[in-house]
Amino acid sequence: MNAAEPAMPPAAPVDIPYGFARAHGVVIAPGEDGVWLATLREGSDPAVLIEVRRHLAAPLRIATAPPADFDRLLSDHYAVDASAAAMAGSLEGGDIDLIAGGLPSAEDLLDSADDAPAIRLINAIIAEAVRQGVSDIHVEPYESGLVVRMRTDGVLREHLRMPPHVAPVVVSRIKVMARLDIAERRVPQDGRIALTLAGKAVDVRVSTLPSRAGERVVMRILDKDTAGIDFDVLGLTGEADRILREALAEPNGIILVTGPTGSGKTTTLYAALKQLNDGQRNILTVEDPVEYAVDGVGQTQVNPKVGLDFAAGLRAILRQDPDVVMVGEIRDRETADIAVQASLTGHLVLSTVHTNDAVGAITRLKDLKVEPFLLASTLRAVLAQRLVRKLCDHCREPVQADNGIAAVLGLDIGTVIWRPKGCEACGHSGFKGRIGVFEAIRVDETIRRFIYAGGDETMIAKHAFLKAPTLASAARAMVAKGLTTPEEAIRIARREDVDA
């Protein structure tokens, strides 16, 4: 069923799902001598035993039973399995392929007894995604089949492909779990699933979108542990780290983080909030959406349906006697104005702006009609960031930089760089996790004067990066340290040119 075998951790053999057992007429149980016994319903296709044997990866003894006996065995065997406990237990090592094989077809949708395989499939997919550090799960219906793709470290890969008829079952179950309206298939919807996996709270943000061949679903895994992330884990070190810490120590002002979507801006802001969250400050946020719950921080989610946008939310939280406010993004003049006013009245304001580099943020705020003298007196620091894939330190291999790479990255020919290989530890991808690349501008006296005088980006950048690294030079330094590959570093340099 699956072209590319998913990398599954070794797991103890698990029982086959009820739907599969019923559809294929086979029940398995451990025999007293440690050998598994497979009971086949008379008349069933014995070819299914190949699949069962593959699933168990253990020797198998085979028996047959007349249909009536088989049905009794089937219901006895799965009587316990229908309980919630059995369902939860099956999360840990379920073979997704095999569970997918047990899915009912669309006609069985109303047959509630058959929901179990779909729930189990979705749970197993989410469990595996969490285990592998996946950020997004895409469930995409096409005429040819239902495709499940997962994004790990920024790269999307196909994970599972199922026959087209299971799409409505899987999508409906996800919608039920996320408390969405399953009868409504013509408009996009969004919701949440809250799960506990192996004692760990996992929030899944679900969004649906009608498409030609049915509803697409994207599930974003919000791992709450990430909210406790520290600067050093982010890769925020050296000058950029010093600049941010200095700015955070000020009683008021605006601190901005810039970068394209998916560059980790929010994670950096949460890390900053964590620094400030010492119990002596009132910290309030307006976010779209609230990605992680942070203890001790008052978080509000924008809700356009009731007119609660960033500007309205920011205005509201400023009436709540805050010390520090975080607004998810400054993307209109009104929000920019309120942020400036908040800073002038003694608040520390953290936010993001969608620009490519740190200097671009200054231009962006001027484009939003923030007066240069106000900007000069309120802006404290701007960070720009990207994420690069981190080389697996178990299997990375040293090589000497050839002419091309050396020229592009400004390294000496023959400099030792590292390339990915792939091992058990990294799921044979050669990479494990991602790390932030940063540049930072500290608005000092000189830069303040430049902004006040309407100085252009080149002048500001020239002064700002006299000592501090730029995104490109920070990425080069990471290549030299063996943290990432030249290709990843070059990708950053290129995105700076093309990304809006």
User: Binding to Zn ion (CB under 5 A): which residues in 422-461?
Assistant: 423, 425-426
Residue 358 binds Zn ion (CB under 5 A):
no
- Toward Zn ion, which CB reaches closer, 123 or 485? 485
Please classify residue 321 by burial: count the beta carbons closer than 10 Å to its beta carbon, then call 0-12 exposed, 13-18 middle and 19+ buried.
exposed
Helix pair 457-464, 358-367: axis angle to 10 deg = 150
Among 171, 256, 395, 468, binds Zn ion (CB under 5 A): 395
Expressed in angstroms, the distance from the first to the final Cα of the chain is: 40
- Residue span binding Zn ion (CB under 5 A) among the ranges 23-31, 131-139, 420-428, 453-461: 420-428
- Residue span binding Zn ion (CB under 5 A) among the ranges 165-173, 189-197, 322-330, 415-423: 415-423
Please check whether residue 325 is in contact with residue 341, taking contact to mean a CB–CB distance below 8 angstroms. Answer: no
- Toward Zn ion, which CB reaches closer, 31 or 427? 427
- Residue span binding Zn ion (CB under 5 A) among the ranges 120-128, 130-138, 232-240, 394-402: 394-402
Residue 126 and residue 195: Cα distance in Å, rounded? 9
- Residue span binding Zn ion (CB under 5 A) among the ranges 81-89, 233-241, 295-303, 417-425: 417-425
Residue 132: CB minimum distance to Zn ion, A: 14
Among 157, 179, 394, 481, binds Zn ion (CB under 5 A): 394
Residue 393 binds Zn ion (CB under 5 A):
no
- Toward Zn ion, which CB reaches closer, 8 or 37? 8
The 8-class DSSP code of residue 226 comes to G
Residue 350 and residue 275: Cα distance in Å, rounded? 13
Residue 428: CB minimum distance to Zn ion, A: 7
Query: In terms of DSSP bridges, do strands 324-327 and 298-301 run parallel, antiparallel, or are they unpaired?
Result: unpaired
Residue 462 binds Zn ion (CB under 5 A):
no
Three-state SS string across 16-61, please? CCHHHHHHHCEEEEECCCCCEEEEEECCCCCCHHHHHHHHHCCCEE
Contacts of 216 (CB under 8 A, 6+ apart): 138, 139, 140, 141, 208, 209, 210
Residue 391: CB minimum distance to Zn ion, A: 8
- Residue span binding Zn ion (CB under 5 A) among the ranges 373-381, 388-396, 441-449, 486-494: 388-396
Determine the length of the chain.
Answer: 500
Please check whether residue 49 is in contact with residue 40, taking contact to mean a CB–CB distance below 8 angstroms. Answer: yes
The 8-class DSSP code of residue 259 comes to -
- Toward Zn ion, which CB reaches closer, 132 or 282? 132
- Toward Zn ion, which CB reaches closer, 249 or 425? 425
Residue 426: CB minimum distance to Zn ion, A: 3
Residue 431: CB minimum distance to Zn ion, A: 8
Residue 391 binds Zn ion (CB under 5 A):
no
Residue 267 and residue 292: Cα distance in Å, rounded? 9
Q: Give contact residues for Zn ion (rule: CB under 5 A).
A: 392, 394-395, 423, 425-426
